[in-house]
Chains A and B, each alone.
Chain A
Amino acid sequence: MEINIEKISELARLNLKPEEKHKLAQDLGAILEYVKKLDVLDTKDVEPTSHVLNMENVFRADEAKPTDAARKALQHAPETEGSFFKVPKVVQR
């Protein structure tokens, strides 16, 4: 199966060396080839599965609870300023 490894690595923000690109393209192609076997099955009347667990409607009550995750996260961040994370300059989206 044909894999556009340039596009996929760009989307995944992965800088691949030329030799890695070739190998990964082959590996991913093989995986898709393997999964393609499922195409022989007739799934016309089968509802698509979006989740493997036989469970639905799991809710949380609307209650606010504080945590001190921010403090810990800021401690481990590469760069911070006050109570903010600091990242390299980005353009407005």
Chain B
Amino acid sequence: MQYEPVIGLEVHVQLKTKSKLFCSCATMFGAEGNRNTCPVCLGWPGSLPVLNEVALKLGIRVGLALNCKVAERLKFDRKNYFYPDLPKAYQISQFDMPVNGRGWLDVETKGGQAPFSEEKKKVPVPFITKRIGITRAHLEEDAGKLLHEGIADGSLVDYNRGGIPLLEIVSEPDIRSPQEAYDYLTALKAILQYIEVSDCDMEKGSLRCDANVSVRPVGQEKFGTKVEIKNLNSFKMVQKAIQYEITRQTEAIGDGETIVQETRLWNDAKGTTFSMRSKEEAHDYRYFPEPDLVPFTLSRETVEEIRKTLPELPLERAKRFIKEYGISEYDAYVLTQERKLAEYFEACLKGQILGKEDLSLSAKLASNWIQTELLAMLNAKNIAIEDCSISPQALAGLIRLVEQGTLSGKTAKDVLQEMAATGKAAEVIVKEKGLTQVSDTGLIEKAVEKAIAANPTAVAEFKAGKQKALGALVGAVMKETGGKANPKVLNEILLKNLSK
């Protein structure tokens, strides 16, 4: 029997605030253990939580970007469970009146196929836009952190994270493959970064993901029993863990076993999931309204004010790039995944255009230079685009020299390295080093004549139909001109002289 997976994702994103969700403790990462705590987040009797207004507004911002219905009335509830990461033995969350209700996210996906492969030369597979439903996105406080490593006789607890504002974004079980899950997460992260609500740094725990996975016979409407997978520290891990789980469940059912509803952890070293087998905490959280917090009413004016401040989102921007600049779907996708990268591209293009050039040609050049040369250089040094020492205007200056035929593509690559090292403008480096490409036909003509005279064998071979022989002649001319001959002019002159 054929089985298909049914996948839903729960993403926890840390909202970028200075202070915690219900108290004035700092949220900055890397403080000494328990330094960022107070009577409220340590759960001392008599302390009173008060909602951080910025956290609520950031939460609404996410809801709007995900097309959610933003609540008119919302409240907070206690989720009760005993675990040392919760000093109060309950977490303040939202149960039946979350800030954001139903919404959706359009995801550009290549379905089951590996998308955006490193090999750019592959024939591009068209994207399919898939709409993934959002069930809800609610506010809640984070728990503390337990440290087990290297401690034999106990666990250490750090409450610095306890009370940090989180938004839990729950997707509908609309995802049908590990690749779609990966693409959904990529699209969601891009949006969260565009709207500047979070750092989305998985290493620092400001973005986390749990996956709910089940399988069912193709054609069956009813969902199978779902398993929750935790301990997923990167999008790649999410993809791998889901793939593993689909195979495991399909095989288990094939062997006549029944899937148990449980929480499993991903072991990245082994590439498997394993059951937590903890004495099941029964997931009976006994939610009830948080009596220490009053309810909230959101006026439509407040919501519309926030909507007005939303920037252009990644998918809209990609579509605009295709329409306005005529670049390919693939290029538009890559360039818009990061807001700073998209801004860099547009600034570079503006710097290149002097009025009469062909816009789509310039855009293609800028896109290529940024994606191949610039990003390769930055990635090698692990530098973010916003910290790039070459400004978009400076890169535009270099590309313009290539467009005008002053520099060959090869020399330009060296100039780029020099620009990064010295901070000098391309024009300055070219002048100082005398790198200007020779387009002077007279000079090239002389070098061509010399090369033909010196390489009779190559000439004879070429005339006998061996195209490859041309390379030796081009090489000879390049050598003569110190590598500075304009390749296009050189080719023309060489072919003209050979056909004489």
What is A's interface to B at a CB cutoff of 8 Å? 7, 10-11, 13, 50-51, 53, 55-67, 69-70, 73-74, 79, 81-93
Closest to A62 in B: B54
Q: Mark B26-55, 1 if CB is under 8 A from A, else 0.
A: 110000111101110010100000111111
Which chain A positions have C-beta within 8 A of B53?
59-62
Is B243 part of the contact surface with A, judged by Cβ < 8 Å?
Answer: no
Prevailing SS type, chain A contact patch: loop
Q: Are A86 and B18 in contact (CB under 8 A)?
A: no
Known contacts A64-B25, A81-B156; is A90 also within 8 Å of B146 by CB?
yes
Which residues of chain A are near B24, meaning CB under 8 Å?
60, 63-65, 67
Contact A73 to B52, CB < 8 A, known contacts A51-B75, A56-B297, A63-B18: no
Chain A residues whose CB sits within 8 angstroms of the CB of B80 once the complex forms: 11
Given the known A-B contacts A67-B25, A92-B148, are A83 and B294 also in contact in the complex, defined by CB atoms under 8 Å? Answer: no
**CB of A91 to closest CB in B, whole Å:** 5
Q: Which residues of A contact B286 (CB under 8 A)?
A: 11
Known: A60-B52, A84-B147; 18 extra A-B contacts, CB below 8 A, are A51-B295, A56-B294, A58-B50, A58-B294, A59-B52, A60-B24, A60-B53, A61-B54, A62-B18, A62-B53, A63-B18, A64-B27, A66-B35, A69-B37, A69-B44, A90-B84, A92-B231, A93-B278
Across the two chains, which residue of chain B brings its CB closest to A47?
B73
- Specify the chain B residue showing the minimal Cβ separation from A59: B53
- Please name the residue on chain A nearest to B33 by beta carbon: A83
B278 with A91: CB separation less than 8 A:
yes
Find the residue from B34, B286, B296, B297 having the highest chain A CB count within 10 A: B34
Residues in B whose Cβ lies below 8 Å from that of A87: 84, 154-157
With contact pairs A11-B284, A63-B19, A92-B276 given, residues A56 and B295 touching in the complex (Cβ less than 8 Å): yes
In the bound complex, how far is the Cα of B84 from the Cα of A55, in angstroms?
33
Residue of chain B at shortest CB distance from A79:
B154
> From residue B151, how far is it (CB to closest CB) to chain A in Å?
8
A89 touching B19 in the complex, CB below 8 Å, given contacts A11-B282, A59-B51 = no
As a 0/1 sequence over residues 280 to 296 of chain B, the CB contacts with chain A under 8 angstroms (1 = contact) are: 00101010010101111
Pick the contact of B42: A61, A73, A82, A92 (CB < 8 A).
A73
Name the B residues within 8 Å of A51 (CB-CB): 75, 289, 291, 293-295
Chain A residues, CB < 8 A from B39: 67, 69
B residues near A74, Cβ cutoff 8 Å: 34
Bound-state CA distance A53–B290 (Å) is 13
Please determine whether B18 and A84 come into contact, CB atoms closer than 8 angstroms. no
| A63 vs B27: C-alpha distance when bound (angstroms) | 10
Question: Who on chain A is nearest to B297 by CB?
Answer: A56
B160: nearest residue on chain A (CB-CB)?
A70
- B82: interface (CB < 8 Å): yes
Most buried by B among A79, A83, A93: A93
A84 in contact with B156 (CB, 8 Å): yes
**A69–B42 contact, CB under 8 A?**
yes
Query: How many cross-chain pairs have Cβ atoms below 8 Å apart between A and B?
Result: 138
In the complex, per-residue mask of B124-159: 1 if CB is within 8 Å of any chain A CB, else 0: 000000000000000000000011100101111111
CB distance from B297 to the nearest CB of A (A): 6
Q: How far is the CB of B138 from chain A (nearest CB, A)?
A: 15
Least CB distance from A31 to B in Å reads 15
A81 contact set on B, CB distance < 8 A: 151, 156
Indicate whether B265 reaches chain A with its CB closer than 8 angstroms: yes
Q: How far is the CA of A80 from the CA of B156 in the complex (A)?
A: 8
Q: Are B37 and A70 in contact (CB under 8 A)?
A: yes
Q: Among B26, B75, B159, point to the contact of A64 (Cβ < 8 A).
A: B26
Please name the residue on chain B nearest to A90 by beta carbon: B155
B193 contacts the other chain (CB 8 A): no
CA distance A7 to B84 in the complex (A): 21
Given A60-B51, A83-B34, verify A89-B155 contact (CB < 8 Å): yes
Chain A proximity mask over B82-96: 1 for CB below 8 Å, otherwise 0: 111100000000000
Residues of A within 8 A of B156 (CB): 81-82, 84-87
B411 on interface, CB distance cutoff 8 Å? no
Measured CB to CB, the closest approach of chain A to B228, in angstroms, equals: 12
Cα separation A57 to B50 with both chains bound (whole Å): 10
Whether A50 and B26, one on each chain, are in contact in the complex, defined by CB atoms closer than 8 angstroms, is no
Q: Is the CB–CB distance between B50 and A60 below 8 Å?
A: yes
Residue numbers in A under 8 Å from B38 (CB-CB): 67, 69
Q: Mind listing 9 A-B residue pairs with CB under 8 Å?
A: A50-B295, A57-B296, A58-B50, A59-B52, A64-B25, A67-B39, A69-B37, A79-B154, A84-B34
Judge whether B51 and A13 touch: CB under 8 Å.
Answer: no
Separation of A5 and B53 alpha carbons in the complex (Å)? 41
Does the CB pair A62–B55 fall under 8 Å? yes
Residue in B closest to A71 when the chains form the complex, CB atoms:
B34
- CB-based nearest B residue for A91: B278
CB < 8 Å neighbour of B296 from A13, A56, A86: A56
